Amino acid sequence: MRRPSTFRLVRIQTGYQWKLFWRNPVAAFFTILFPVMMFLIFTVIFGNERIDELGVTVAQFYAPALGMFAAVSATYTNLGISTAYQRDFGVLKRIRGTPLPPWIYMAGKILSAIAVAFIGVAIMLGLGVALYGLRLDPTTLPALVVSFVVGSAAFSALGLLVAAVAPSGNAASAITNATLLPLAFFSGVFIPPQAETPRWIEFIGDVFPLKHFNEAFFAPFDPRRNDLAFEWGHLAYLALWGLVGGYLAIRWFRWELPQGTGSSRRRSTRR
Amino acid sequence: MANAIEVRGLVKRYGDVVAVAGVDLTIAEGEVFALLGPNGAGKTTTVEILEGYRQRDAGSVSVLGFDPAEASRAYKERIGIVLQETAIEPELTVDEALDIYGSLYPRRRPTDEIVEIVGLGEKRRARVKTLSGGQKRRLELALGIVGDPDLVFLDEPTTGFDPSARRQAWTIIDNLRSLGKTILLTTHYMDEAQNLADRVAVIAGGRIIAEGTPETLGGRRDATIVRFRLADVAPDRLPLTPSRADGGVVEIESVDPTRDLHTLTDWALANGIELEDLEVRRPSLEDVYLRLTGEATS
């Protein structure tokens, strides 16, 4: 009689969450295809012109920006929504009744989300290279990897924070979309930074983590740079958001709906 | 025989509401024990404290030698839980669900054997979302026993089943009994308790109000009910005091049925009265249950 090893449990849980993600066509569409569509639409509308403020082409800007956006959807949006729905349906309560240590369940969810984020980024960058000759200096690759890992981890923590505070899966869906989409406009993701951007928009972008992820992720693609393109300031700020978000998520997380709300609703939907 | 569950003076409050008001329970190893009671009686709260989902406010609890309040991994490895309000990911197949949940336990029953026990052999590759309600419930039973637990909690295992699905579920639970598992089940159905349980307890108002085998609960074995219909005769003319008389139906509880029947039929013949639909029977478990819970709430 031997307990399954931690490594084995993490591997199985990650694989299970990964499988579930790809079997949910809506999530897969919004995470992977939606940013790809945006990329194609932007490059078609704007042509692959040069953006004067940045000194790069449209594709050189949008491929990393929307790749990063896919990574945030895969972590923040997906973890927030799927975890809250799993609580609604009682999946989390079931897990709580098994010997699985709760942290391993969460580790599986986060690792799977980061793997999905990786796929989203790879597709976007691959498309940029194939269609528009996206360029990346190989010496900046470590900075790209570090930015990806720090950003995905931070947004995973924030996604779980949304799941912790949202009363239901529907609420989590509203919260993630209502925060991410406006922020993407304020953070220079959907619209490249302009010289005449109003101060208050700049300010909102500076406060929230998305812009910092975007800038750290774009730096390796910035042809004007001739260093290793690590944006330590942005990365540190991003990590701080992740740590605070993760701490609060752990403090506030609930594995069950408050008593009296869950069972009656589930009974009515089951029959 | 050792005890699987020992509970003394269990109390649980939610704000000002006392959900469990001093419950004592002793369940032996290998016993099938049914907890009966109306909704809101404290059944689910009691069971969820034993499962480790809730913290108690007072009392002592020992389950398989563990204190469930600590919710330790070693404890969870030896119990199986089948609840009402839990779910299985709808996109998994039956096999996948059994593999994933089975992987969490040190002692794990093979998937082949489990699907056989719960009768889902034909559905192994089917997604959970395509299963019928009864099949889903059987899969939940399967997940409850995949870790080869010593103790299984079953919360209303057949609620919402059609009669044949219930028979199947009973067979499964009977199989678990023959594997030597201790089973604590809650149910609304008296025939379920009658069929499955070695012992039953009735809980109402947060207290155990009666406990015994299904045959002896609430003095069931010692009482007999004489029942008949009486047309156009006031019940107060009867030679015996009825325990129930409404709509022309009269019930007399008797501890000495031979003598009482004689008195009754004598009286009926002497007065030329017909005792329509006369029957003599033991009170069903349901009769006893309704009487006990009625007394507790009135």
* pLDDT of amino acid A235: 97
Are residues B64 and B76 in contact, defined by beta-carbon separation less than 8 angstroms? no
User: B295 to chain A nearest CA, in Å?
Assistant: 26
Q: For chain B, what percentages of helix, strand and coil (3-state, to nearest 5) are there?
A: 40, 30, 35
Degrees, nearest 5: CA angle B15-B16-B18: 100
Are residues B148 and B93 in contact, defined by beta-carbon separation less than 8 angstroms? no
Q: Is pLDDT above 70 for A238?
A: yes
Written as one letter, the residue type at B103 is: S
Gap between the Cα atoms of B133 and B254, Å rounded: 44
Look at B83 and A3 and tell me if their CB atoms are within 8 Å: no
Residues of A in contact with B76 (CB under 8 A): 97-99
Please name the member of A19, A23, A94 whose beta carbon is closest to the beta carbon of B87. Answer: A94
Per domain, the residue ranges of chain A are 21-260
Q: Which DSSP state fits B93?
A: B
Taking every pair of C-alpha atoms in chain B, what is the biggest distance, in angstroms?
Answer: 76
The answer to whether A224 contacts chain B (CB < 8 Å) is no
* pLDDT of amino acid B297: 64
Ranges of beta strands (E only) in chain A are 50-51, 56-57
Q: Is pLDDT above 90 for A267?
A: no
Sign of the four-CA dihedral A80, A82, A86, A88: positive
Gap between the Cα atoms of A165 and A248, Å rounded: 9
The answer to whether B106 contacts chain A (CB < 8 Å) is yes
Q: What is the mean pLDDT of chain B?
A: 89
Are residues B48 and B56 in contact, defined by beta-carbon separation less than 8 angstroms? no
Q: What is the mean pLDDT of chain A?
A: 91
Which tens digits make up the pLDDT trace of B190-217?
A: 889 988 999 999 998 899 988 999 888 8
The answer to whether B84 contacts chain A (CB < 8 Å) is yes
Task: Give Cβ neighbours of residue A145 (< 8 Å, ≥ 6 apart).
Answer: none
The answer to whether B294 contacts chain A (CB < 8 Å) is no
Look at B106 and A93 and tell me if their CB atoms are within 8 Å: no
Question: Across residues A59-71, what is the average pLDDT?
Answer: 96
Ranges of beta strands (E only) in chain B are 3-14, 17-28, 32-36, 58-63, 79-82, 151-155, 182-187, 199-204, 207-212, 224-229, 244-246, 249-254, 276-281
Which tens digits make up the pLDDT trace of A129-175?
A: 999 989 898 999 999 999 999 999 999 999 999 999 999 999 999 99
Are residues A124 and A67 in contact, defined by beta-carbon separation less than 8 angstroms? yes
Q: Which DSSP state fits A4?
A: P
Degrees, nearest 5: CA angle A85-A90-A92: 80
Pairing of strands B249-254, B244-246: antiparallel
Task: Give Cβ neighbours of residue A170 (< 8 Å, ≥ 6 apart).
Answer: none
The continuous run of DSSP H or E covering A154 comes out as helix A141-165
Give the Å distances, CA to CA, from A128 to A121, A141, A168, A260, B63.
11, 16, 37, 51, 60
A266 pLDDT tier (thresholds 50, 70, 90): very low
Q: A5, A89, A98: which to substitute to probe chain B, counting the most B Cβ within 10 Å? A: A98
Gap between the Cα atoms of B30 and B4, Å rounded: 8
* pLDDT of amino acid A101: 96
A259 pLDDT tier (thresholds 50, 70, 90): low
Which tens digits make up the pLDDT trace of A170-227?
A: 999 999 999 999 999 999 999 888 878 889 999 999 999 999 999 999 999 998 888 9
Please name the member of A4, A23, A263 whose beta carbon is closest to the beta carbon of B91. Answer: A23
Look at B14 and A20 and tell me if their CB atoms are within 8 Å: no
Tokens linked to B130: 């395509």
Of A148, A262, A258, nearest in space to A213 by CA = A148
Question: Across residues A243-261, what is the average pLDDT?
Answer: 89
Are residues A222 and A51 in contact, defined by beta-carbon separation less than 8 angstroms? no
Look at B147 and A99 and tell me if their CB atoms are within 8 Å: yes
Higher pLDDT pick, A216 / A49: A216
Higher pLDDT pick, A63 / B253: A63
DSSP per-residue codes, A27-64:
HHIIIIIHHHHHHHHHHHHHTT-EETTTTEEHHHHHHH
* pLDDT of amino acid B292: 80
Which tens digits make up the pLDDT trace of B66-98?
A: 999 998 999 999 999 998 877 899 999 999 999
Gap between the Cα atoms of B270 and B234, Å rounded: 16
